[in-house]
């Protein structure tokens, strides 16, 4: 690719993000890129732009020698992997916002980039408008990073903000998030904490050089939260945020999880509301730095995708600096977490799994404990399958 020549884009998907990208592209005069073709799934759907752009034949993009860059913005991770891997093998640069596809196939995609000497950028896949990947690659390019923690999912943050600030029900808030285009096509990916876990999987490679499978990371979402839990948080003047975190232990290993957390007003994350995402980075000497920005929606994600396209005009590639530094971190679940665990009946929960229990509360409506448990035991706890159990990280609040 030449630095001044206009790069030709082949886009897959013209939904919330695809249309967002199209509009952002139209309004960005300085970008040397133009759309050649857009591949969609349902030709019968009414489109907002001229029909000559569209095709349902992926080969019109993948095998088109005029197309330099493939932009993958579809909602089907399996089909997306086939598109992206073929494009990389065909020596095309690729931009994607598909965190599920990237997280599930990360090692293979990393290898394909090296083998084919092609660039694969995915800033829009992690926290949409916040430029976290390039920051981890370029700015935090040493091994002094201690932790990355944040709200990585705009849809659940939108739901939780509406529950806490507008007293809306979970279902009403979810329907609104879906209507505004913040939710995944399958909302379970958001509310059960899979989507932020996929983003954490990607961040682990750029923060600590670790390629791990999403299944290795424990996730628990907000789907079981009920009025009792919400009132518990409100009475204590705390909010609830769905958090993803990875952190270095004293022994130099890395732990990671995604869990709902009780957050105090003094915490930066408390100020992150609606579809916004927030990321707190802790370095050994820089201490805490906090990033905030829109984490969902066609325009914020479209603008991150556009920034990747723009970076390709000057041949930018992720160098995977932490991988190349051979830091050789290991992932561990050997860390103790403090949790609020709500249940209905004592038989539903295994108290022996806990290292210690500091609070035990009973009422007719519900009961809860506050106790310490290892991430190892938590990730293997079969009692978590019980539908009456909900979890909240209490960290430093009790
Ligand atoms: N929405 C957000 O806020 C957001 C934020 C960050 C990242 N993302 C990611 O961005 C991607 C797209 O999300 P979205 O919200 O834009 O989804 P969406 O609104 O549901 O749109 C999906 C698009 O993909 C097309 N499509 C599906 N399967 C296809 C296939 N096999 N071949 C070609 N086209 C196909 C659909 O075609 P038809 O139009 O013909 O149905 C549609 O245009 C997802 O990976 C998502 O995780 C979304």
Report how far ligand 1's centroid is from the alpha carbon of 47 (Å): 14
- Residues 92, 199, 247, 294: which is the catalytic one? 199
Which mutation among 10, 11, 13 tests ligand 1's pocket best, with the greatest number of atoms within 8 A of CB? 13
Position 4 scores a pLDDT of: 58
pLDDT of residue 274: 96
At 2 the pLDDT is 45
Whether the Cβ atoms of residue 72 and residue 80 lie closer than 8 Å to each other: yes
Rounded distance from Cα 176 to ligand 1 centre (Å): 18
The answer to whether 6 is a known catalytic residue is no
Q: Is the CB of 207 under 6 A from ligand 1?
A: no
Mean pLDDT for each 10-residue chunk of the chain (398 residues)? 74 97 95 96 97 98 97 98 98 98 98 98 96 95 89 96 92 89 88 97 97 97 94 95 97 97 96 97 92 95 97 95 89 97 95 97 95 98 96 83
Q: How far is CA 141 from the centre of its chain?
A: 21
Main-chain phi, psi angles of 22, to 5 degrees? -55, -50
Is any atom of ligand 1 closer than 6 Å to the C-beta of 296? yes
Looking at residue 326, its pLDDT comes to 81
Q: Is the CB of 301 under 6 A from ligand 1?
A: yes
Mutate to test the pocket of ligand 1, among 11, 14, 17 (most ligand atoms within 8 A of CB): 17
Q: Does the beta carbon of 13 sit less than 6 angstroms from any atom of ligand 1? A: yes
What pLDDT sits at residue 328? 86
Joined together, the tokens standing for residue 151 give: 């709200």
Q: How far is the CA of 14 from the centre of ligand 1 (A)?
A: 7
- The whole-number pLDDT of residue 325 equals 87
Contact 397, 262 (CB under 8 A): yes
The response to whether residue 297 sits with its C-beta less than 6 Å from ligand 1 reads yes
- Answer whether 39's CB lies under 8 Å from 60's CB: yes
The protein residue with its alpha carbon nearest to ligand 1, atom 33, reads: 40
End-to-end CA distance of the chain: 57
Centroid of ligand 1 to alpha carbon of 222 (angstroms): 24
Give 76 Cα–ligand 1 centroid separation in angstroms. Answer: 7
> Which residue segments constitute the domains of the chain, with CATH numbers given?
7-129+298-319 (3.40.50.720)
User: How many whole angstroms separate alpha carbon 98 and alpha carbon 123?
Assistant: 10
Encode pLDDT of 68-88 as tens digits: 999 999 999 999 999 999 999
Task: For ligand 1, say whether the CB of 71 is within 6 Å of any of its atoms.
Answer: no
Q: Whose CA is nearest to atom 21 of ligand 1?
A: 15
Ligand 1 binding pocket includes 70 (Cβ within 6 Å):
no
In 3-state terms, the chain is what percent helix, strand and coil (to 5)?
Answer: 40, 25, 35
| DSSP for 86-106, written as a single string | HHHHTT-EEEE--HHHHHHTH
Look at residue 270 in the predicted model and tell me its pLDDT.
96
| Alpha carbon distances (Å) from 55 to 12, 25, 69, 90, 157 | 10, 20, 17, 19, 35
| CA–centroid distance, residue 398 to ligand 1 (Å) | 42
Query: How many other C-beta atoms can be found within 10 angstroms of the C-beta atom of residue 173?
Result: 20
Ligand 1 centroid distance, CA of 74 (Å): 3
Kindly give the number of the ligand 1 atom that is closest to the alpha carbon of 189.
47
Q: Is 54 in the pocket of ligand 1 (CB under 6 A)?
A: no
Is residue 46 lining ligand 1, measured as CB closer than 6 Å?
no
Closest residue to atom 48 of ligand 1, CA basis: 17
Ligand 1 pocket, mutate which of 14, 23, 72, 73 (most atoms under 8 A from CB): 73
- The finding on whether 97 has its CB within 6 A of some atom of ligand 1 is yes
């Amino acid at each position: 690719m030449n630095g001044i020549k206009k790069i030709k884009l082949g886009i897959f998907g013209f939904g919330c993000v695809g249309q967002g990208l199209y509009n952002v592209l139209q309004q960005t005069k300085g970008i040397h890129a133009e759309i050649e073709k857009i591949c969609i799934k349902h030709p019968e759907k009414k489109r907002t732009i001229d029909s000559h752009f569209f095709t349902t034949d992926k080969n019109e993009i993948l095998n088109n020698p005029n197309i330099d860059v493939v932009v993958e913005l579809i909602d089907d991770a399996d089909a997306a992997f086939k598109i992206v891997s073929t494009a990389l093998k065909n020596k095309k640069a690729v931009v994607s916002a598909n965190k599920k596809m990237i997280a599930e196939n990360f090692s293979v995609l990393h290898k394909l980039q090296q083998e084919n000497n092609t660039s694969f950028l995915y800033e829009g896949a992690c926290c949409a408008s916040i430029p976290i990947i390039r920051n981890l690659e370029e700015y935090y390019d040493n091994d002094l990073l201690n932790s990355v923690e944040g709200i990585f999912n705009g849809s659940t943050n939108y739901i939780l903000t509406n529950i806490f600030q507008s007293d809306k029900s979970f279902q009403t808030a979810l329907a609104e998030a879906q209507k505004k285009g913040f939710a995944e096509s399958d909302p379970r990916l958001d509310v059960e904490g899979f989507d932020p876990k996929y983003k954490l999987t990607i961040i682990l490679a750029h923060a600590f050089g670790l390629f791990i499978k999403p299944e290795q990371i424990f996730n628990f979402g907000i789907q079981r939260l009920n009025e009792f839990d919400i009132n518990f948080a409100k009475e204590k003047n705390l909010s609830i945020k769905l958090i993803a975190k990875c952190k270095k232990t004293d022994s130099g290993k890395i732990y990671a999880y995604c869990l709902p957390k009780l957050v105090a007003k003094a915490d930066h994350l408390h100020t992150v509301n609606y579809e916004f995402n927030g990321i707190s980075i802790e370095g050994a000497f820089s201490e805490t730095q906090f990033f905030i920005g829109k984490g969902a929606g066609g325009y914020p994600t479209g603008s991150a995708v556009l920034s990747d396209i723009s970076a390709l005009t000057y041949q930018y590639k992720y160098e995977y600096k932490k991988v190349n530094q051979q830091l050789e971190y290991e992932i561990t679940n050997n860390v103790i977490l403090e949790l609020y665990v709500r249940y209905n009946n004592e038989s539903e929960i295994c108290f022996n799994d806990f290292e210690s229990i500091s609070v035990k509360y009973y009422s007719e409506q519900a009961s809860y404990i506050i106790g310490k448990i290892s991430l190892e035991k938590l990730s293997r706890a079969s009692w978590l399958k019980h539908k009456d159990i909900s979890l909240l990280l209490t960290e430093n609040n009790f």
